[in-house]
């Protein structure tokens, strides 16, 4: 039954290659698949060793995908206004089927992603993988680290509970001390900065964390930052391939 | 004991315990790989340079790791609810008010520096400094394999920054900072009414130069003294340059690159020195140092 189905035109139009154990077929399985095509066809043996890579870059990407999916589901149940936000959270946690699971996964996934992104950077540093020709990809990676922090931080505000509003208050209070651009920063007052026109005001949409801040952080968290992060991720992955794949010691042989 | 349990079992603190465990594990793993590689002629990674097919050798690992990660996330999410506290209320400030865990190192810096340094200048320097690493580390060795011997300075500096100034301070901020951001030993009750009695003095006052006159106006001598101390500290970079400028390393680095390295390095060490200036006296019961340099516009 299955084997005859596999012979149909329909099946063959979807799955081009079988599991045939030949070098050529295995290569085709990678290059003919849009998702697996992210990989080269062959890699040095040390690069598939988890002890070398720790797998942290890949896990970070997986967590980003988990966060995107759970995040989209959460958006169906959440309204970013001070009037409704907290009510929607209560609804999500008590009445929505699988609501707590989705929200928990989004929050713990976000924490885990911050952690894996830091470990990824640690590994890349320890193996000297930022050295030529991969200098610029390290720079892109640092930007992605910052974007991860910003994504996590902006998401922190959205539940609109005591924890979120005060954590964000503590964090954004720093902005008022920005040199030149904050009203309490060095030379800020001399440049005409006031609580209602400095960089913190721009960030919060007000002089304190309030309803406009919630909307600002929501749009930043759900649209602006993910789009920017995705673009940088595309560059990051592309550059890994173009810079010769997973780093490894120079062995005289051409490694890519 | 109750207090320890209360902190450790707080759902949002699980990531910090994970952080502690994973960072220790991976530091140990990296260290053992470095030691092994440093004892032999060619690194382990170079012995495994033959090519393998991505299908199945890499894809199957990715698949298994993905399943493991998703299983962990699922179990974690089923058994532990994300916190949802009382509705946001601007009139009720919780004590302590803590930033998200990954910013606790920076929040800790607020003890030692004014917000414009701790909250703005230091984070910016961390980001810029990290991005600069590939361009200021001109050591060609150690590219693509674990080694300590071949890049001692780079590894020591980065690991110190990551493990001590980032991870360790996050752990301090989570487990040891209670109400009023006061330091509490593990197991000590977090008493919201506890007041640490500290009389801060400025660095110049250690040398008998008061920062302010009795009428409250700034003492120009103290301002000048502080400026000399801070600028003098950074001019160590110049002195070292004149001592070493003819060495191969310095010639290869070049004047501009050397100065960027020196400024970033001195800032990192300066952070530690300023922390010690504050913590050291507290430990021996003397008055902690608040500012090294007081000016009408900013304080360092």
Per-residue pLDDT of chain A (256 residues; tens, 9 = 90+): 888 998 899 998 988 888 888 989 989 988 888 889 899 999 999 999 999 999 999 999 999 999 999 999 999 999 999 999 999 999 999 999 999 999 999 999 999 999 999 999 999 999 999 999 999 999 999 999 999 999 999 999 999 999 999 999 988 888 888 999 998 889 988 888 988 889 999 999 999 999 999 999 999 999 999 999 999 999 999 999 999 899 999 865 444 3
Most A-contacting residue of B80, B90, B141, B143 (CB-CB within 10 A), to test interface = B143
Chain B contact present for A81, CB below 8 A: no
Residue corresponding to tokens 């490894």: A248
Residue corresponding to tokens 């300066």: B270
Cα separations in angstroms, A172 against A165, B32, B223: 10, 41, 30
Q: What's chain B's average pLDDT? A: 92
Under 8 Å CB pairs connecting chains A and B tally to: 289
**Is the Cα torsion angle B75, B77, B78, B79 positive or negative in sign?**
positive
- Of the candidates B218, B182, B234, the one whose C-alpha atom is nearest the C-alpha of residue B291 is B218
Residues of A with Cβ-Cβ distance to B52 under 8 angstroms: 42-45, 48
Q: Taking the mean position of all CA atoms in its chain, how far away is CA A68?
A: 9
Most A-contacting residue of B116, B124, B146, B151 (CB-CB within 10 A), to test interface = B116
CB contact (8 A) between residue B49 and residue A44: yes
- Of the candidates A99, A122, A118, A114, the one whose C-alpha atom is nearest the C-alpha of residue A151 is A114
B5: pLDDT confidence band, cut at 50, 70 and 90? confident
End-to-end Cα spacing for chain B: 39
A35 in Cβ contact with A41 (< 8 Å): no
Alpha helices (H) along chain A: 2-5, 9-14, 23-31, 50-53, 56-75, 85-94, 99-126, 135-157, 162-173, 199-204, 211-219, 225-242
**Per-residue pLDDT at B283 exceeds 70:** yes
pLDDT at A252: 52
- Collapsing DSSP states into helix, strand and coil, what is residue B140? coil
Task: Report the relative pairing of strands A42-44 and B51-53 from DSSP bridges.
Answer: antiparallel
- Collapsing DSSP states into helix, strand and coil, what is residue B201? strand
Residues within 8 A of A (CB atoms), B 17-36 only: 18-19, 22-23, 26, 29-30, 33-34
DSSP-derived letter for residue A166 is H
What average pLDDT does this structure show over B203-227? 91
Alpha-carbon distance of A148 to B60, in angstroms, equals 27
What average pLDDT does this structure show over B277-296? 89
> Rounded to a whole number, what is the largest CA-CA distance in chain A?
82
The fold adopted by the segment(s) A48-242 is Cytochrome Bc1 Complex; Chain C (1.20.810)
The tens digit of pLDDT for each residue in B46-65 reads 988 889 999 889 999 999 99
Alpha-carbon distance of B300 to B285, in angstroms, equals 23
CB contact (8 A) between residue B74 and residue A134: no
Residues of B with Cβ-Cβ distance to A45 under 8 angstroms: 48-52
Q: What is the pTM of this model?
A: 0.93
Chain B contact present for A149, CB below 8 A: yes
Q: How many other CB atoms sit within 10 Å of the CB of residue A193? A: 22
Q: Nearest chain B Cα to A82, which residue?
A: B88
Cα separations in angstroms, B151 against A10, A127, A228, B140, B263: 57, 10, 34, 9, 20
- Backbone φ and ψ for B194, nearest 5 degrees, come out as -65, 130
DSSP-derived letter for residue B12 is G
Residues of B with Cβ-Cβ distance to A111 under 8 angstroms: 12, 14-15, 101
pLDDT at A15: 87
Q: For residue A10, give how far its alpha carbon lies from the nearest alpha carbon of chain B (Å).
A: 24
**Per-residue pLDDT at B99 exceeds 80:** yes
**Per-residue pLDDT at B172 exceeds 90:** yes
What average pLDDT does this structure show over B25-32? 97
Structural domain spans, chain A = 48-242
């Amino acid at each position: 039954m299955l084997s005859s189905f596999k012979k149909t035109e329909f099946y063959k139009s979807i799955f081009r290659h079988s599991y045939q154990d030949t070098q050529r077929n295995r290569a085709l399985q990678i290059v003919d698949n849009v998702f697996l095509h992210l990989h080269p066809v062959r890699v040095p043996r040390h690069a598939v060793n988890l002890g070398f890579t720790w797998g942290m870059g890949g896990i970070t990407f997986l967590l980003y995908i988990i966060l995107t999916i759970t995040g989209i589901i959460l958006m169906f149940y959440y309204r970013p206004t001070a009037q409704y936000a907290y009510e929607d959270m209560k609804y999500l946690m008590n009445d929505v089927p699988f609501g707590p699971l989705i929200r928990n996964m989004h929050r713990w996934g976000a924490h885990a992603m911050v952690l894996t992104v830091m470990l990824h950077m640690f590994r890349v540093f320890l193996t000297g993988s930022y050295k030529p020709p991969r200098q610029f990809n390290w720079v892109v990676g640092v930007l992605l680290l910052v974007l991860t922090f910003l994504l996590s931080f902006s998401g922190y505000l959205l539940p609109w509970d005591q924890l979120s509003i005060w954590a964000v208050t503590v964090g954004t209070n720093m902005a008022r001390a920005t040199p030149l651009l904050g009203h309490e920063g060095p030379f800020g007052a001399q440049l005409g900065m006031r609580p209602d026109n400095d960089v913190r005001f721009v960030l919060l949409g007000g002089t304190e964390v309030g309803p406009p801040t919630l909307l600002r952080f929501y749009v930043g968290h759900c649209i602006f930052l993910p789009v920017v992060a995705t673009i940088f991720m595309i560059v990051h992955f592309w550059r890994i391939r173009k810079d010769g794949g997973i780093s490894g010691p120079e062995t005289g042989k051409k490694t890519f | 004991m109750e207090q320890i349990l209360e902190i450790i079992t707080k759902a949002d603190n699980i990531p910090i315990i994970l952080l502690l465990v994973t960072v220790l594990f991976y530091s140990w793993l990296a260290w053992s790989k470095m030691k092994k590689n440093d004892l032999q002629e060619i690194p382990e990674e170079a012995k495994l340079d033959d090519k393998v097919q991505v299908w199945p050798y890499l894809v199957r690992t990715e698949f298994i790791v993905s399943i493991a990660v998703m299983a962990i996330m699922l179990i974690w999410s089923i058994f532990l609810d994300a916190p949802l506290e009382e509705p946001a209320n601007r009139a009720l400030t919780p004590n302590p008010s803590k930033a998200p865990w990954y910013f606790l190192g920076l929040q800790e810096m607020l003890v030692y520096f004014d917000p414009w340094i701790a909250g703005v200048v230091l984070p910016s320097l961390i980001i810029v400094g990290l991005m600069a690493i590939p361009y200021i580390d001109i050591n060609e060795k150690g590219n693509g394999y674990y080694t300590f011997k071949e890049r001692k300075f780079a590894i020591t500096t980065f690991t110190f920054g990551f493990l001590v100034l980032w991870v360790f301070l996050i752990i301090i901020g989570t487990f040891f900072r209670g109400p009023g951001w006061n330091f509490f030993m593990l197991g000590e009750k977090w008493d919201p009414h506890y007041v640490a009695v500290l009389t801060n003095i400025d660095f110049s006052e250690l040398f008998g130069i008061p920062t302010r006159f009795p009428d409250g106006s700034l003492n120009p001598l103290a301002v000048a003294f502080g400026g000399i101390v801070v600028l003098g500290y950074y001019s160590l970079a110049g002195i070292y340059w004149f001592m070493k400028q003819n060495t191969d390393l310095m010639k290869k680095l070049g004047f501009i690159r050397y100065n960027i390295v020196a400024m970033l390095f001195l800032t990192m060490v300066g952070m530690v020195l300023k922390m010690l200036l504050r913590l050291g006296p507290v430990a021996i019961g003397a008055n902690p140092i608040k500012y090294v340099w007081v000016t009408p516009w900013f304080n360092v």
